[in-house]
Chain A
C-alpha cells in the first residue's frame, strides 16, 4: 500500500500522480455538498447562473455532518454514498472540479468525465464519522444555509485519510476481483 500526502486545491499534475489503491492524506480546503446542494448547483448552471463556490481545482466531500457540540469544530463527519450525485457530477467536472470524496460506486458517465477532465475519486471509510471529524480543523457554512446538514461548508482538513478508488485513467479499485 503506497501512502501519499497531498494538498488541495490541486492541479492535473498532482491528480495524474494518484493511482487507484493509493492511501492518501489530504490537507487543505475542501467543500461539502450532498444531494440537495448538488441539485441546486445543477439547476443554477442550467439557468446560466454562477455557482456559490468556484469548483475549479477544488475537491468536494460528499458529507452532511451531525451538529457540533460546544467546543467542537464539527460533529460526526463521514462520507455519504456518492452514486446519488452522479447525475450532477459531469457538469461540475467540466467546470474543473478535480476531486471527490465519498464512498461507493460511480456510473460509467462519471468515470468517462473524470478521464476527460483529469479528476480523481477518493473513498473515505464509511461509518467512521467520529474518527474522521478529528481531521477537520475549521468548518464554515458558505452557501445554502437553509438546507441544514446539506448546506455547503468550507472545511479546513488536516491529513484526512482516503483511498484512491478511481484514478484519472479510469482504473477502479471496486472492479478488482
Chain B
C-alpha cells in the first residue's frame, strides 16, 4: 500500500493547468514548424508562421496560447494499492484546477448549468475520468479542451456492414463540416468501438497520445496514415482559408464492441492540443 497526500495532488494539478496552457508538447510544435515548409498556400504559410510566433510568445511571457484555456479534462490512472490521504480525490483535483486557473491567469470558461449558464468563476468542475489498475502507480493526465473544436465533434452509430469505408467517411465528413470553425490545422481524435459513451471517451483519449506515435494495431496505423493524407487533400488549410495543412495528425483508439454495432466518435481539436501527464 502506497499513500499519496491530496495536497500533492492539488499542487501537481495546479502546475499542470498552467504548463499545459503556456506550452504545447514538442511533437505539435515540430509539426507546425515543418508544416510551414510544406504548405503551398501563401496565406496558409503566413498563418502557420503566426502560430509558431504565438507559441514562442506564450511560452516566454506565460500568456495562454489560446484565450480559450478550456474545460479541464483529467484522466487518472490509479493503482488499486494506492491509498489517498486527506480530502476526497475528486475534490482535490477540482481544488487543483481552481488554483491553477486562478493563479495562472487562465480564463474561467465553465458555467454552472447548461440552461442557467452562470459562470462558476474558477473553471470548476473539471471532467474527471478514473481508471483503476493493478499495482501502486498514480498517473494524472490533464487535457484542457477548447470548445471551438469541441463543438465540431460528433458520434455516429454505424452498422457493421458500413465497414472500414463507413468509418473513413464519418471522419472525413466531420473534418469537412468543421471547416474553419475548428481552427485548422487540427488534430483528429477518433474512437471506434465500445458503446456510445466508451467510443466518445476513446476519441478524447486518442487526443492525448503523442502525435509522432501510431496505434499498435497495424491496420489501424494504416488507417491513421490514410485518413491524414485524405484530410490534407480537402483544401481546408490553415485558418480554413485553403491549403495543404488541414490536420497535423489522426489518432485512433479502438475497443471491443457488440455484434450489432460499430460506433465511431470524432473528437476535433485545434492545433492547441494541450495535454500533460505526471506520475506521482
Contacts and interface: CB of A to CB of B under 8 A. Distances in A.
Interface of A: 1, 21, 23, 36, 63-69, 72, 75-78, 80-81, 83, 103-105, 123, 125-134, 147-150, 161, 163, 165, 173-174, 176-177
A76 B179 contact: no
Interface of B: 42-43, 46-47, 50-51, 53-55, 57-58, 61-69, 105-109, 117, 119, 121, 148, 151, 179-181, 183, 235, 239-242, 270-272
A81 B268 CA distance: 14
B105 A66 contact: yes
Given A67-B107, A78-B66, A123-B239, A105 B270 contact: no
A124 to B, nearest CB: 9
B43 A69 contact: no
Chain B interface SS verdict (over half): loop
B64 A75 contact: yes
B239 A163 contact: yes
A63 B241 contact: no
Contacts of A176: 242
Contacts, number: 140
A173 B241 contact: yes
11 contacts: A1-B43, A81-B148, A104-B181, A126-B66, A127-B54, A127-B272, A130-B65, A148-B121, A149-B67, A150-B119, A161-B50
A176 B50 CA distance: 22
Contact of A129 (B43, B66, B181, B240): B66
A131 B50 CA distance: 7
A76 B272 CA distance: 13
B66 A127 contact: yes
Given A67-B107, A76-B67, A103-B180, A130 B61 contact: yes
